[in-house]
Structure 1
Amino acid sequence: MTWQTTLTLLGYGIVITFMVLIMMKKMTAFASLITIPVIFALIGGMGPKLGAYALTGIKGVTTTATMLLFAILFFGIMINVGLFDPLVKFIVKAVKGDPLKVLVGTAILAAVVSFDGDGTTTTMIVTSALLPVYKKLKIKPLYLATIIIMQNSVMNLLPWGGPTARIMAALKIEGGAILAPLVPGMVLGVIWGIVVAYLLGLKERKRLGIVKIDETALDEMAATMDEEEAALRRPKLIWVNFILTVLVMYFLIAGKLPSAVIFELAVALALIINYPKLKTQRELIERHAGNAIQVIVMVLAAGIFMGILTESGMANAIALNLASIVPKSFGSHWALVTAVISIPGTFLLSNDAFYFGVLPVLAQTGATYGFTPLQIGIASTMGQAFHLLSPLVAFIYLLLQITEVDMGEWQRFAAKWSIGTFIIFVLAAAITGVMPL
């Protein structure tokens, strides 16, 4: 057995063992992310380099961890000041206690907020606005987590999103050239997300019925707020906080500053504007530190997972294996082959590893069969329907932490609806002719 084959088997072993343990609820995601790759690395005789691999991985996620830390603090402060209270009250009035309307509204809001291409921002805004409504009406938070991820996986294909930007860099494709062919599939994908929300809403309406909510019920919701929370509200500064939040969104979309820096500045300004007393500022940071730490430790654990998988050569071995397992006789259907490979490729590997490691090989092979880089690039986006279910995606730990949903249960439930998203992506690309089957 060659060393390359050994690395491939070890890499697959890490990912499969991790997923099985998570799905069967035999181990927490945190413990699995750390111990499983360490065990397999030791089996592969990589003990002497294990620390260096893990540390490289940790360093690689520090920017993301920093961004998540300050994003959680910022949106936590915005919740404290009451920025989302009017929106929550409006939603509660508009849905009139109907779970169906809540879920459809979730799909629409998640799609709109996801326009900035950032999963963390989408998660914080949508959950901040809607989780109180879900709790009030006793709707399953699993549905909230599923709909958010479905809509974000579609909108993440915008040129300023992660996968598309990497495709543009790897295959030297212009943003406009790749966006136009993606639009039909993205539109249909968003509509599919709304359809799924409608179907889930019908189930919840049948289970829960329509709860009558009037002004009295809204007052009861406000009454459940304790004195400490009420003291943190800043109704007179709501427009100032709204403008601050809009500016944060603008700079995130514009990409003129690193997202971690944007959120750090936003937290500093939010504290100065709303809570000039130093004691209150310290108390607020401590108040949200627990939620932040829960997410950050998961991201750092994922850093160890990715560090060992990547630095040891296992990720590259998996990439080469994925690119080589397809028989050459499938050459005339290479775009479809690429689409199928992109499912495990973007799930088992980071976007960087897949789009910079696997995609160029697939594109070169496709060229021999007459496929253009654009066609292969479009095909490689199809697997994004499942990518955000991967344990390698940092912000999903934030989503699961806030909604208190089990990771394995969420992956199993969301995956079956993501199959529809994948099929829609493929059919739309085939019908428009950008991805010949």
Structure 2
Amino acid sequence: MLLTVLAYAMIAVFMYVVMTKKMSPLSSLVMIPLIFTIIAFLTGSADITADASFVDSLGGEKLANNLTAIGPMVMYGISQTAKTGIMLLFAILYFSIMLDTGLFDPITEKMIRFAKGDPMKVLMATAIVAAAVSMNGDGTTTTLIVVSAFLPIYQKLNMKVMNLGVLIILQNTIMNLLPWGGPTARAMSVLNVGSEILAYLAPGMILSLLYVIFYVAPSMGRKERKRLGITNLTEEELLKLTTISDPEKEAIRRPQFFIFNGLLTILLIAWLVAGSFISAIEVPSLLLFAVGTILALMVNYPNLKDQSKRIGDNAGDAVQVVILVFAAGIFMGLFQGSGMANALAQSFTTIIPKQLAGFWGIIIALISAPGTFFLSNDGFYYGIMPVLAQAGARYGFDNMSMALASLMGQAFHLLSPLVAFIYLLLRLTGLDMGEWQRTAGKYALVIFIIFVVTIILMGHMPVYIPQ
């Protein structure tokens, strides 16, 4: 009981200090779970055997249920995010180098000329491109590509960068339900359902995409038009917007290698996407970006001093993101290893009155929102869903309806501070996490409603089963 109280209290304190900016994300990701884990051990409520994945990671090693277990918990959590952290390091360096070479300058120029001072066109284009790029299911790739292409446009037209960050996360949220995106594959494996689940999800996904492209983006566009107006830019003004005036930036541009850089980037992205479908050519993304970064440096900046300079100038952004990814790993390791995550999961099944058992599908959909926000997808689908699905079976709900219901909360999942790539998005755009979460959250709520209403109307999840 006490462990459950500590779990809820930890989440409440964590969200409070982040949303009110009392602590930085880095400090709160490490210190809040550490303090509550220490309290759990000192009160004797911690249970290091509760999380099966943590126990398996020990490889048979026996740990005492005391403060000495904190070290292995932290290492377990970091091991879960290490691959992502290393991949992000090379991915950020790669796209930063591509920005230095001027690879995205032609795209920026064409978009500025297309918009001609109309922010509505830029926002619509952002939503469409973000949806298209998100088809690979990888938030890191989507963020790097879309931000690299559009951030200079937003800055040059004095548009709100918040809109860019919100549109990217909304479109990636929707496309993340594709089977190769992660959560759907987990739901399919845990609940033993077939690929037909995608056909059941598709109507809600399509409606949500249309909602973002034809309502959210235009709504933002109208506000930006009101704030900035529609400026019919002259050729001279367009030229000024698209001309680099900083001599240092001009010096590191490499227009002579534009074709090489373009082909290399296309190859990297194509390989990432194709590897999701064809296992024979699947290569770890961190290796692809590592090789891509090295090739980009060798060709564009053959002088060793220039290579060191490019790495040094861009390493700051990469390190800022990577340390947050590792901090998120520490959070997960302590939360799961101490047993708080399991206690939270068990509480979900006990706080629901049995009189509401007939509404179990809707209840699971509602639980999946905080469940996938405060827990990793692995923690929720492998730790919580088997318990919830067993209860659902007793109430007459089949595995398909349970799988669909469990995926509804994905509308909010990518707003979670436990999602690694959002720190990349926030770092590149300079947005505050709390403000970004609040702004995107109101649109994510509508997407959640669209998801739930669609699967109910299509008959894939019963609203109520008489008990």
Q: What TM-score results when the alignment is normalised by the length of structure 2?
A: 0.90
Letter in 2 for 1:380: S
Matched, 1:285 2:311: yes
Matched, 1:102 2:122: yes
- 1:20-419 equivalences under 5 Å are 20-44=16-40, 45=42, 46-174=66-194, 176-194=195-213, 195-253=215-273, 254-255=275-276, 256-419=282-445
Contact persistence 1:93–1:214 (CA under 8 A)? no
Contact persistence 1:149–1:388 (CA under 8 A)? yes
Coordinate RMSD, CA, aligned: 1.4
- Residues 157-200 of structure 1 show CA distances to partners (whole Å, capped at 9, x for unaligned) of 101002112112212223x3221111111111111112111111
What SS does the aligned partner of 1:160 have? helix
2:101 & 2:244 partners in 1: Cα distance?
16
1:210 & 1:345 partners in 2: Cα distance?
43
2:12 match: 16
2:245 & 2:453 partners in 1: Cα distance?
49
Letter in 2 for 1:158: L
- Residues 104-132 of structure 1 show CA distances to partners (whole Å, capped at 9, x for unaligned) of 21111111111111111111111111111
Contact persistence 2:109–2:242 (CA under 8 A)? no
Contact persistence 1:97–1:137 (CA under 8 A)? yes
CA separation of 1:211 and 1:10: change in aligned 2, threshold 3 A:
same
Structure 1 residue 64, shift from structure 2 partner = 0.8
What SS does the aligned partner of 1:257 have? coil
Structure 1: give runs of 5+ residues left out of the alignment: none
What SS does the aligned partner of 2:231 have? coil
1:20 & 1:41 partners in 2: Cα distance?
18
1:214 & 1:364 partners in 2: Cα distance?
66
2:18 & 2:297 partners in 1: Cα distance?
39
Ranges of 4+ aligned residues in structure 1 off by more than 4 Å: none
Q: Judge which range, 87-96 or 329-338, deviates more.
A: 329-338
Structure 1 residue 234, shift from structure 2 partner = 2.3
Contact persistence 1:92–1:213 (CA under 8 A)? no
2:173 & 2:402 partners in 1: Cα distance?
19
- Residues 398-422 of structure 1 show CA distances to partners (whole Å, capped at 9, x for unaligned) of 1111111111111111111111000
Letter in 1 for 2:237: A
Structure 1 residue 209, shift from structure 2 partner = 0.7
Structure 1 residue 215, shift from structure 2 partner = 3.3
What SS does the aligned partner of 2:178 have? coil
What SS does the aligned partner of 2:331 have? helix
Letter in 1 for 2:25: A
Letter in 1 for 2:349: A
- Residues 210-256 of structure 1 show CA distances to partners (whole Å, capped at 9, x for unaligned) of 13334323432344442232232222322222221122112222231
Structure 1 residue 202, shift from structure 2 partner = 0.7
1:391 & 1:79 partners in 2: Cα distance?
27
2:383 & 2:233 partners in 1: Cα distance?
54
Structure 1 residue 204, shift from structure 2 partner = 1.1
Contact persistence 1:323–1:358 (CA under 8 A)? no
Q: Judge which range, 329-338 or 178-187, deviates more.
A: 329-338
Structure 1 residue 272, shift from structure 2 partner = 2.2
1:204 & 1:228 partners in 2: Cα distance?
32
Structure 1 residue 133, shift from structure 2 partner = 1.1
Contact persistence 2:272–2:285 (CA under 8 A)? yes
Letter in 2 for 1:422: F
Letter in 2 for 1:35: M
1:155 & 1:125 partners in 2: Cα distance?
16
Letter in 2 for 1:115: M
Contact persistence 2:100–2:252 (CA under 8 A)? yes
Structure 1 residue 374, shift from structure 2 partner = 1.4
1:280 & 1:143 partners in 2: Cα distance?
35
Contact persistence 1:137–1:211 (CA under 8 A)? no
